[in-house]
Amino acid sequence: MKNPLDSLWGTVIAGVVLTAVLFVFARNFLG
């Protein structure tokens, strides 16, 4: 599998996905 960080689009999409994951974590698990 190709490393998404090798392409700029892959990097940006990975960043947006990570944002969504962390947002769900922050909203549901942090006080």
Partner 1 sequence: MENIDIVAALSRWIHFMAGVMWIGLLYYFNFVQVAALKNAGADGTATGITKHVAPRALLFFRWSALVTWLAGAALLGPLFTDAFMLRNGMGPIGIGAWLGTIMLFNVWMLIWPNQKKILGMKPASDDEKNKARRVAFLASRTNTMLSIPMLFFMAGGWSHRALFGL
For residue 1, the minimal CB distance to partner 1 (Å) is 15
For residue 12, the minimal CB distance to partner 1 (Å) is 7
- Rounded CA gap, 30 and 4, in Å? 29
The residue among 5, 31, 7 whose CA lies nearest residue 18 is 5
Which residues of this protein are in contact with partner 1, per CB under 8 A? 3, 5-6, 8, 11-12, 14-16, 18-19, 22-23, 25-27, 30-31
Number of H helices, E strands in the chain: 1, 0
